[in-house]
Chain A
Amino acid sequence: MNDLIAALTVARKDFRQELRSRATTVATLFFSAITLVMMAFGLGRDPELMRSAAPGVLWVALAFAGVIAAAQSFQADLEEGAFEQLLLLPVSRAAVYLGKLAASWLYLFVLGALMLPIALGLYGADAPASTWWLLGLVLLLGTLGLALIATFYAGLTANLQAREALLPVLMFPVIVPIMLGAVRATEAALMGSADAPLALSWVQLLGGFDLVYLVVCASIFHFVVDD
């Protein structure tokens, strides 16, 4: 069985389930929007403070959304022993992980693309047209990093009773490099073309961590889902 085809099959299944339940969409969309609004209230009326906080608030909102999306993805599978049945098929654990990762990543990326303009508008920040491509790249790699870790730890905690509490506790320390890279790269991209080289150096860091996490998580996912 070609692992790539198997991964795409699993991803398609996750998409199909989400399109039908819309549980993750509703939860993450409202949660992210509310986080952005609440943080705006909390930061006060200083326009400069608001502008500088925009990248950080955006990525914190996406990180929490990543937790919700990944946990929900496994929760839907665990009902009635369906995930166990999936694992009984002769399909590699790496393919299962990559499939669920692909679904979570695309979902988070679309969510990020929706939240980015809202965050910029709400916090009075401006994104120069010359660096839109850079913001897109940061969003792509940043959401990949979040999805990589969230999917892995959601699988690890899926069968635990305290999974809702454990997932963020386990996940957030590990995503620090991703958050750092994504926030700094977004800040630099919002400064315009002059800071594009700085943004690109953070993007390289993001890409590097993504690659490491991808290889490690896919390689050891069988320890997570098998006895």
Chain B
Amino acid sequence: MSGGQDGLAIELRGVTRRMGGEYVLRGIDLEVAPGKLVVLRGSNGTGKTTLLRLLATRLRPAGGQALVFGHDLTREAAAARARLGLLTVMGGSFPLLTGRENLELATALTPRRPGLPARAEAGQAEPTEAWKARTPLATLGRVGLEHGADKLVRTYSSGMKKRLGLARLLLLDPDLWLLDEPYAALDDLGKRLMDECVTAAQARGRTVFMASHESDRDHLGPDAVIELKDGTLRMFGA
């Protein structure tokens, strides 16, 4: 998984974390190079979500050092957050907003990433085609939610909420995709869509770190499969 010391997407050195008085993570060491797809396995309650939330800056390590793209997750959390996105099990959308409004909120609060298409090129009054393809509505269409764009999220099924979370990731397209059980609640079509999006993200050079029980998704060809057990990581397969 290592791609050299400089420019690692994820770098963990002896990371520990306690939850409810017990150590869930007991000295995690991990290096993930940019552009890699890593699958994290582990039984329920072994700390997969804790590790993902720690990488997403929502939990602080109790000990050790955690870096995302060279940014220390304790001291430079804001800089790290600008380069990552987390898809949670429940999707993480506001139930009293519509799908479109949820995406508009996310884009309104996120500065435009360098390299993404501008609304209009210099001298052009109309939005560019590339920009149009990245609007909230177009992105909802990509995940099969165009019909639910203007419905409140509280009327969505679990699978639709997961698709909306995926749409948010597609729209913001962070450098590091953190996926917590991305296939949970999705139907077969949704699982294939998730596969396509993960593959496409990796092709764009994004790093994908996914916690998943779905062993039948191995056709994605992960660069590494690791297992979290008793608070430590071990190589499971590649």
A residues with CB within 8 A of B: 1, 5-6, 9-10, 13, 16-17, 20-21, 76-77, 79-82, 84-92, 226-227
Select from chain B the residue with minimum beta-carbon distance to A80: B90
- Would you call B207 an interface residue if the criterion is a C-beta within 8 Å of the partner chain's C-beta atoms? no
Binary interface encoding of chain B residues 45-86 relative to chain A, with 1 for a CB under 8 A from any of its CBs, else 0:
000000000001111100000000000000001100110111
- For the complex of A and B, 6 pairs with smallest distance between CB atoms: A85-B92, A90-B82, A17-B96, A81-B92, A82-B94, A80-B90
Residue interface bits B88-116, CB-to-A below 8 A is 1, else 0: 10111111110001000110111100000
Q: Are A91 and B109 in contact (CB under 8 A)?
A: yes
Q: Are B96 and A20 in touch, CB under 8 angstroms?
A: yes
Is A1 a contact partner of B109 (Cβ separation < 8 A)? Answer: yes
Bound Cα distance from A85 to B105, whole angstroms: 11
List residues of chain B with CB within 8 A of the CB of A10: 109
Decide: A79 near B81, CB < 8 A? Known: A88-B57, A88-B58, A89-B109: no
A13→B109 CA distance, assembly (Å): 12
In the complex formed, the residue of B with least CB distance to A85 is B92
Residues on the A chain within 8 Å of B92, using CB? 80-82, 84-85, 88
Which of B57, B60, B82, B93 is close to A85, meaning CB atoms less than 8 Å apart? Answer: B93
Partner of A6, one of B60, B94, B101, B109: B109
Which residue in chain B gives the minimum CB-CB distance to A16? B97
Closest CB-CB distance, A11 to chain B, in whole Å? 12
Given A87-B58, A89-B81, A89-B110, A13 and B86 contact (CB-CB distance below 8 Å): no
Contact B110 A13 (CB under 8 A): no
Indicate whether B161 reaches chain A with its CB closer than 8 angstroms: yes
A-B pairs with beta carbons under 8 Å apart, 10 shown: A5-B108, A9-B108, A16-B97, A17-B94, A17-B97, A85-B165, A88-B57, A88-B84, A90-B82, A227-B59
Q: How many Cβ-Cβ contacts under 8 Å join chain A to chain B?
A: 85
Q: Which of B85, B95, B105, B111 contacts A88 (CB 8 A)?
A: B85
- Docked complex Cα distance between A87 and B58 (Å): 8
Contact of A13 among B60, B78, B91, B105 (CB under 8 A): B105
Residues in chain B near residue A20, CB distance under 8 A:
96, 152
> Max chain B CB contacts within 10 Å: which of A82, A85, A92?
A85
CB within 8 Å for A226 and B95 given contacts A88-B85, A89-B109, A90-B82: no
In the complex, are the beta carbons of B111 and A90 less than 8 A apart?
A: yes
CA–CA, A89 and B84, complex, Å: 9
In the bound assembly, the distance between CA atoms of A86 and B56 in angstroms comes to 12
